[in-house]
Amino acid sequence: MGRFVAIDYGTKRTGIAVTDPLQMIATPLDTVPTHELMAFLSEYIRKEGIERLIVGLPLQMNYTQSGTLKFARQFAAAFKKRYPAIPVEWIDERFTSKLAAEAMISGGMKKSQRQKKEHHDRISAAIILQSYLEQQNNIF
């Protein structure tokens, strides 16, 4: 089995999370400037290989598209073109920022660290990935 990678796509920064090789646990990996995302993923794929890319679907609370969705779709299309053998799937990412903030508090992260957006981004990516894994395994 290969790893799954999830991204919390942002116009400035993108959070990245990855599963273990058995695809059971989602772990925050990194936050990278979005303009470096493809290069980061290419290097990761070269070293580790991945089985699937999960992209957070940025929707508003009323299910309308957010401004980020257009750019996330462009990235996903470019990724599919470069890596046609790696499936790209989307998962609703609403509430991930709130859940990430709660996870950082309950995990004992200091306020000064919680204020750094890069922590939010990679933890949000892990929440997106864990949600995907739970849906695949019908765990709710």
**So what's the pLDDT on residue 119?**
58
Is the pLDDT reported for residue 115 higher than 60?
A: no
**So what's the pLDDT on residue 57?**
86
Mean pLDDT of the 87-110 span:
68
CATH code of residue 116: 3.30.420.140
CB 56 within 8 A of CB 69: no
Give the separation between CA 127 and CA 100, rounded to whole angstroms: 7
Give the separation between CA 132 and CA 40, rounded to whole angstroms: 22
DSSP 22: T
Amino acid at 17: A
Task: List, for residues 20-38, the tens digit of each pLDDT value.
Answer: 999 999 999 999 999 999 9
Segments forming the whole domain that contains residue 43: 3-136
Task: List, for residues 64-91, the tens digit of each pLDDT value.
Answer: 666 788 999 999 999 999 999 999 999 9
Distances (CA, A) of 119 to 20, 30, 42, 54, 104: 20, 8, 22, 19, 9
Give the separation between CA 117 and CA 28, rounded to whole angstroms: 13
9-23, 78-92, 124-138: the lowest-pLDDT one: 124-138
Give the separation between CA 98 and CA 85, rounded to whole angstroms: 33
pTM of structure: 0.83
Total number of domains in the chain = 1
Q: Is 120 left (phi over 0), alpha (psi -120 to 50) or beta?
A: alpha
Which residues fall within 8 angstroms of residue 97, CB to CB, at 6 or more apart?
120, 124
